[in-house]
Structure 1
Amino acid sequence: MTFSILAAAKTAAPKTAPRPATDPLADLRYWWDASVAWINSHWLQIGIAIGAGLAIYFILSMIRRFALKRAQSAPGEFTLTDIVGRVIHKTKSVVLAIVAIRAVAGYAQPPAVIMQLIQTIFTIAVVLQVAIWVREIILGLIQRRASDGHNETLVNAMGIIRLLISVALFAIATIVILDNMGVNVTGLVAGLGIGGIAIGLAAQGIFSDLFAALSIIFDRPFRNGETIKWDTTTATVERVGLKSTRLRSINGELLIVSNTNLLSKEISNFAHLHRRRITFAIGVIYQTTPAMLRDLPALLEEQVKASGHEFIRSSFVTFGPSSLDFELLFDVYSEDYQVVTAARTDVAIRLFEAMAAAGYEFAYPTQTTFTSAPDGTMIMPYPESPEPKARTAKAAKPA
């Protein structure tokens, strides 16, 4: 930081003797002499820089304290304000001090070796602090997206997620620091890339199930306690784990399905259904008159509306093998499956009573057998009674 008011107070650093390059003791003596000469010739600038640095550190500390207090006083958990508070809380006082020193170091005109040392420490501190900030932001956004800080799976996964994010960020931070120090990091980057690929291939199944678990947490296709249909299985979700999900089937069995396999097939979630559609297939006998067939859809609609549910449609479907088939569809507006089953039973009984009172007969599978003679003519499937023949012969006798 440059202070224009005191620019006139600056003086050139005194020239020192050429640095010996062989003896370590001579090197130490050289740096000592250079530092003493710098302090003697720039004591005013050094004092002003120290005061300005303390002022900067105090201001930065006050800003951090004020911002942290405002963030912590905001209501809600895992909100954007809460995430900002966590980031501010992770700001180290040592980093603020190093920033203040770096801000005023140029004004004091230190020797090149001291300036280089300050610059190196400043780079390391800032890069590591930025890595910590980014980690807290990512973790906060993950928990915010999950919208349930007490999710058991998320709590179990956060340790692994924090480890993976920390390793990735601090590896990048190390590369940045080494690159700023003039180290050739090409080989290091290549080695990390190859190592990451090897680890990924070796733990492919584990990472696949882990990311599937995170997908379930963030996308929320279902939650604990909800009933779902997976493939051909209807079950209730008991717990979502890092590797597998536990389902309790309607028959009572405990199903343990890997998260990757679970998400690879279609899932039907029966929770939060505001309405459920019920379908009835109704078959009447072929002896039903055409007039009764025309009246049947209206009768079905009347009974559905009388039960208080929403009628969708009722129509003739097809000529069945043993029946004339009709279809009835109606909706029940309830999330409680017990209410839905009770409504289905009520409508079915109403339909049975109304159709029986109107003279309709329900069809059931029947079969008729016809017998033919060797010449192909139809004959009775049973022998005729001999009684009619006896009457005919008696009637033919003369009186």
Structure 2
Amino acid sequence: MNLLEFEIWHNDGRHWLYAAAAAVGVLLVARLLKGLVHRGLERRHRATARAIDGALAAVLDGTRWFSYLTLAIWIGASFLELTAGAERVLNRGALIVLLVQLGLYGQIAVRRGLEIWQSQKQEGASSQTATAAIGLLARIAIWTMVLLTVLSSLGIEISALVAGLGVGGVAAALAVQSLLGDVFASLSIYVDRPFEIGDFIIVGDDRGSVEHIGWRATRVRSLGGEQIIFANGELIKQRIHNYGRMQERRIDFRIGIEYGTPADLVEKVPGVLKEAVEQQEGTRFDRAHFKEYGDSALVFEVVYYVLSPDYTEFMDRQQAINFVLLRRFEKLGISFAFPTRTLHLKTDGAERTDNARPPLETRLEQSN
């Protein structure tokens, strides 16, 4: 028997041979074209460093083997006489594979686009969480559209399904409201940038350095060493003091000298204070004034700036200023005041009769 005349599913051997040859040819040509285009994009990307060329190469590299096979079978089947049912199954199958491949292309494009965007912005580690969240939402949207399109191509009525998904989505959103609030709060933290990893922040009574910004929570390492975990949704509702954005530190402090200090020495104190500050490197003097008459001291106020946000450096400068003031005041004979209170007691007369009451100190001694 001539094999070319042997029929299988209403097609003789000649038609099957044509179909097989076409399928193999399409498969080889598709792989060859893909390789040529991919190598061309890679060469141009290396030569020009254009991010779009690298992204297109990555997207093209995401073509799966089943896509090549489906294309080859679909074109090869055009040389055969198929029943209406077989042709419908073949076309729907090819459409489903095409939609899945487009979904893969979209997923790769989103990932590469976010990588390019993040590299161009040169953001730190704090942006990785937000980028991952955006990528996740984009992938969910892509595959939801692919799924709905596939169901529609299969003849399934999706309007009721979409309505059901809407109701179910509302119920699910209510069930995970807190979790979703924290996720969107992490995006808000990324967009608004109230703080970044490494910043020292104060939130209420808690303070520490930001270690990690996650989808749901932010971790802070306190000064005592323990880790404090804030839910993102609650964190952004509170007032945050961010010392990581500090460019320079403003310092104001007060000192007091004794009331018995002579006026000419009192007038020298602002100059001594200014000199003590200006002797320190990395500082900028602002002012020094005799501020007020305190309860037990003549009070002077000093304002200066440390040209660094580092707390240890501030303490080093303040300590050096205190040492200078201690030596200068000792040399000038100026004494620092300390809390004291003088009581003036008045008696009724210089001479006390028998009926007169003794002074207060005497009465206290008698009562004891």
Structure 1 residues 80 and 151: CA distance shift in structure 2, 3 A: farther
Deviations 1:92-137 (A, max 9, x none): 244356568889999x898895776665345323332232233234
CA contact (8 A) 1:237 1:247 kept: yes
CA contact (8 A) 1:312 1:331 kept: yes
1:328 aligns with 2:302: yes
CA contact (8 A) 1:274 1:334 kept: yes
State the match for 2:365 in structure 1: none
State the match for 2:270 in structure 1: 297
State the match for 1:127 in structure 2: 99
CA distance in 1 between partners of 2:220 and 2:288 (Å): 37
**Per the alignment, in what secondary structure is the counterpart of residue 193 of structure 1?**
helix
Structure 1 residues 47 and 96: CA distance shift in structure 2, 3 A: closer
2:33 alignment partner AA: I
Structure 1 residues 272 and 123: CA distance shift in structure 2, 3 A: same
1:171 aligns with 2:180: no
Unaligned residue ranges in structure 2 (runs of 5+): 1-6, 350-357, 362-368
State the match for 1:313 in structure 2: 287
Equivalences for 1:131-170 in 2 at 5 Å?
131-141=103-113, 166-170=139-143
1:229 aligns with 2:196: no
CA contact (8 A) 2:221 2:228 kept: yes
Deviations 1:256-279 (A, max 9, x none): 333333333233344475533322
CA distance in 1 between partners of 2:194 and 2:118 (Å): 8
Structure 1 residues 72 and 132: CA distance shift in structure 2, 3 A: farther
TM-score w.r.t. length of structure 2? 0.68
State the match for 2:171 in structure 1: 198
* Aligned equivalent of 2:64, options 92, 100, 107: 92
- For the aligned residue pairs, the C-alpha RMSD in angstroms reads 4.9
CA distance in 2 between partners of 1:321 and 1:251 (Å): 37
State the match for 1:357 in structure 2: 331
Structure 1 residues 318 and 90: CA distance shift in structure 2, 3 A: farther
Structure 1 residues 296 and 202: CA distance shift in structure 2, 3 A: same
Deviation, 1:233, is 2.1
Deviations 1:367-395 (A, max 9, x none): 233446789xxxxx9589xxxxxxxxxxx
Identity of aligned residues (%): 26
Deviation, 1:198, is 1.6
1:283 aligns with 2:292: no
Deviation, 1:228, is 2.8
State the match for 2:33 in structure 1: 59
State the match for 1:369 in structure 2: 343
CA distance in 2 between partners of 1:228 and 1:182 (Å): 57
State the match for 2:318 in structure 1: 344
CA distance in 2 between partners of 1:248 and 1:53 (Å): 58
Equivalences for 1:72-111 in 2 at 5 Å?
84-95=56-67
Structure 1 residues 264 and 331: CA distance shift in structure 2, 3 A: same
Structure 1 residues 151 and 305: CA distance shift in structure 2, 3 A: closer
State the match for 2:241 in structure 1: 268
State the match for 1:259 in structure 2: 232
Deviations 1:181-209 (A, max 9, x none): 55431111111122222222112223333
TM-score w.r.t. length of structure 1? 0.64
Deviation, 1:346, is 0.5
CA distance in 2 between partners of 1:355 and 1:135 (Å): 73
Structure 1 residues 149 and 330: CA distance shift in structure 2, 3 A: closer
Larger radius of gyration: 1
Deviation, 1:341, is 1.7
Structure 1 residues 311 and 213: CA distance shift in structure 2, 3 A: same
Equivalences for 1:177-192 in 2 at 5 Å?
177-180=150-153, 182-192=155-165
CA distance in 2 between partners of 1:252 and 1:298 (Å): 42
**Per the alignment, in what secondary structure is the counterpart of residue 222 of structure 1?**
coil
2:143 alignment partner AA: F
Q: How many residue pairs end up in the alignment?
A: 339
Structure 1 residues 51 and 88: CA distance shift in structure 2, 3 A: closer
Structure 1 residues 62 and 118: CA distance shift in structure 2, 3 A: farther
Deviations 1:143-189 (A, max 9, x none): 6667699969969x96x987765444222211123335554311111
CA distance in 2 between partners of 1:110 and 1:315 (Å): 102
Unaligned residue ranges in structure 1 (runs of 5+): 1-28, 376-380, 385-399
CA distance in 1 between partners of 2:264 and 2:301 (Å): 18
Moved more, 57-66 or 209-218: 209-218
**Per the alignment, in what secondary structure is the counterpart of residue 101 of structure 2?**
helix
Structure 1 residues 111 and 365: CA distance shift in structure 2, 3 A: same
CA contact (8 A) 1:277 1:329 kept: yes
CA distance in 2 between partners of 1:63 and 1:110 (Å): 34
CA distance in 1 between partners of 2:181 and 2:32 (Å): 48
CA distance in 2 between partners of 1:109 and 1:226 (Å): 69
Moved more, 294-303 or 66-75: 66-75
